[in-house]
């Protein structure tokens, strides 16, 4: 085994459903002041998945885009893990479908991870340790976070939905972010802040308590990280798990108070060090396991050139709960890689359609029967869920992207 070089995120891409709901339209429909959603929660649009856009289709779409845009061949992958809390089966993992749809090699460790929004972080950190151990033998890991965030129509959680998948390539000599492997601050506690019983698609949540749990976990994980990674350069930016934009704002106040800053100073710092990571989330909403990594993609899209060589922090929170704070250094040349990945493409003007409220509500009502029949498939979608066959096997349409 040769010596291992820097390890981290070599490439990142994401996929979102083809439709979104404007939160201004939702505010009117629910009789709520538009500013409550826009300023109170910090959300403006949320992606809404149709029946053919299940977690497998979203994950395969993001993974295919990643391989095409990064110039990696599937044969280079030796580890494929999908973090999701929107499982499609008690046994067969989303990662198995992705492995097949993307044509990954049979010599590959393939599994699904679950811990609410923390699942993909568990997978990402495992992948870095797999590479650090020498087991990768030069191969790369494909980590995908894929989820559909859903709360009951008319509930306080409704404006904090979303859907999407983020795919990351983890390797030696990463072209985007070198991670500080083995130096993370962690925290866990058995709480019922948010849960998704097996018979339900909509999540149940003790909303205000979930906010308290998130902030408490952040304080503990951050202090633990400070002990593990004491010294070193300051963090010039921080990406938080983003269930809605305002949560990142609250998080930054708590984290700043640990550093001895008052609220006014924390709020000034927020505009510079956190706000650029929230732009994609404001158009997509909460994507659960992928939310932290969508924030990272947003930050790199906005500022990669200015951040090359600089140290940034990442905070992952999963209800239930588990949290981890960790850090990395933006790689030299990251801006060129970001340009190649064309990170903003899935949200470009014209790339998505705005749903009317009746169309959104019809999509949700359609759920009960959607899994049972073949759906109408848009020919522009590279991957789509087609329904289940008589033996209850899930069927997919596959069309791997050949170029970015």
Among 114, 150, 175, 241, binds ligand HMG (CB under 6 A): 241
**Quick check: helix, strand or coil at residue 270?**
helix
Phi, psi torsion values for 213, nearest 5 degrees:
-65, -45
CA separation for the pair 206, 321 (Å, rounded): 13
Applying CB under 6 A, the span of 36-44, 49-57, 218-226, 373-381 interacting with ligand HMG comes to: 36-44
Q: For ligand HMG, which stretch binds (CB under 6 A), given 90-98, 306-314, 315-323, 333-341?
A: 315-323
- Residue placing its CB nearer to ligand HMG in the complex, 20 or 79: 20
Among 52, 53, 54, 85, binds ligand HMG (CB under 6 A): 85
Q: How many residues bind ligand HMG (CB under 6 A)?
A: 30
Scan residues 132-191 and list those touching ligand HMG (CB under 6 A): 156-157, 160
Query: Taking a C-beta distance cutoff of 8 angstroms, is the pair 328, 177 a contact?
Result: yes
Choose between 157 and 346: whose C-beta lies nearer to ligand HMG.
157
**Measuring CA to CA, which residue among 256, 240, 257 is closest to residue 248?**
240
241 catalytic? Reply is yes
Please tell me the distance from the alpha carbon of residue 263 to that of residue 245, in angstroms, as a whole number: 17
Secondary structure letter of residue 385 according to DSSP: E
Q: Least distance to ligand HMG from the beta carbon of 151, Å?
A: 6
Q: Which span sits near ligand HMG by CB under 6 A: 18-26, 31-39, 75-83, 95-103?
A: 31-39
195-214 residues near ligand HMG, rule: CB under 6 A? 205, 207-208, 210-211, 214
Kindly state whether residue 285 participates in binding ligand HMG, applying the rule CB under 6 A.
no
Instruction: Return the residue of 84, 286, 298, 375 that touches ligand HMG, per CB under 6 A.
Output: 286
Instruction: Please indicate whether residue 85 is annotated as part of the active site.
Output: yes
**Catalytic choice (99, 241, 252, 301):** 241
Of 183, 334, 300, 315, the C-alpha closest to 238 is 315
Q: Which of 22, 25, 40, 364 binds ligand HMG (CB under 6 A)?
A: 40
Q: Which residue, 40 or 344, is less far from ligand HMG as judged by CB?
A: 40
Please state, in angstroms and rounded to a whole number, the distance separating the CA atoms of residues 337 and 10.
9
Q: How many helices (H) and strands (E) does the chain have?
A: 13, 17
Residue from the set 21, 117, 169, 397 that interacts with ligand HMG by CB under 6 A: 117
Q: Is the CB of 41 or the CB of 166 nearer to ligand HMG?
A: 41
Give how far Cα 272 sits from Cα of 94, 299, 390, Å. Answer: 37, 11, 54
Q: Which residue is nearest to ligand HMG (CB)?
A: 40
Q: Binding to ligand HMG (CB under 6 A): which residues in 330-389?
A: none
User: What is the token pair recorded at 144?
Assistant: 């995908």
Contact yes or no for 360/29 (Cβ under 8 A): no
62 and 30 Cβ atoms separated by less than 8 Å? no
The strand ranges marked E within 227-310 are 237-240
Which residue among the candidates 80, 115, 117, 303 is catalytic per the annotation?
117
Sequence-ordered strand ranges (E) for 65-184: 77-83, 109-113, 140-149, 162-172, 177-179
- C-alpha–C-alpha distance, residues 363 and 68, integer Å: 31
Would you name the residues annotated as active-site residues?
85, 117, 241
Binding region for ligand HMG (CB under 6 A): 33, 35-36, 39-41, 85, 116-117, 156-157, 160, 193-194, 205, 207-208, 210-211, 214, 241, 243-244, 246-247, 286, 288, 317-319
């Amino acid at each position: 085994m040769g010596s291992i070089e820097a390890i981290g995120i070599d490439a990142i891409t994401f996929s979102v459903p083809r439709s979104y709901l404007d939160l201004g339209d939702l505010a009117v429909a629910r009789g709520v002041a538009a500013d409550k959603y826009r300023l109170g929660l910090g959300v403006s649009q949320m992606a809404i998945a149709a029946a053919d856009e299940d977690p497998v289709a979203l994950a395969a779409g993001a993974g295919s885009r990643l391989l095409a845009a990064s110039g990696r061949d599937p044969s280079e992958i030796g580890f494929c893990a999908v973090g999701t809390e929107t499982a499609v089966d008690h046994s067969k993992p989303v990662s198995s479908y992705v492995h097949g749809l993307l044509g990954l090699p049979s010599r590959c460790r393939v599994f699904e991870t679950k811990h609410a929004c923390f699942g993909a972080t568990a997978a990402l950190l495992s992948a870095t340790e797999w590479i650090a151990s020498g087991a990768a033998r030069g191969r790369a890991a494909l980590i995908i976070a894929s989820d559909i965030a859903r709360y009951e129509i008319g509930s306080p959680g409704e404006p904090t939905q979303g859907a999407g998948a983020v795919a990351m390539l983890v390797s030696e000599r990463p072209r985007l972010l070198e991670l500080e492997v083995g130096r993370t601050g962690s925290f866990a506690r058995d709480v019922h802040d948010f849960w998704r019983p097996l018979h339900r698609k909509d999540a149940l949540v003790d909303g205000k308590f979930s906010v308290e749990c998130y902030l408490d976990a952040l304080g503990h994980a951050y202090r633990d990280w400070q002990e593990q990674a004491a010294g070193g350069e300051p963090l010039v930016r921080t990406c938080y798990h983003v269930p809605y934009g305002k949560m990142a704002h609250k998080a930054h106040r708590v984290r700043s108070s640990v550093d001895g800053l008052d609220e006014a100073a924390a709020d000034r710092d927020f505009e510079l060090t956190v706000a650029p990571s929230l732009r994609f989330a404001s158009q997509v909403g909460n994507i659960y396991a992928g939310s932290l990594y969508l924030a990272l993609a947003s930050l790199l899209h906005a500022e990669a050139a200015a951040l090359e060589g600089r140290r940034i922090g990442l905070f992952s929170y999963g209800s239930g709960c588990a949290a981890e704070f960790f850090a990395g250094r933006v790689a030299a040349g990251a801006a060129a890689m970001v340009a190649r990945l064309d990170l903003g493409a899935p949200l470009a003007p014209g790339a998505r359609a705005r749903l009317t409220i009746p169309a959104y509500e019809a999509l949700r009502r359609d759920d009960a029967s959607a899994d049972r029949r073949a759906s109408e498939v848009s020919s522009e979608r590279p991957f789509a869920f087609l329904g289940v066959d008589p033996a209850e096997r899930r069927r997919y349409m596959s069309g791997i992207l050949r170029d970015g």
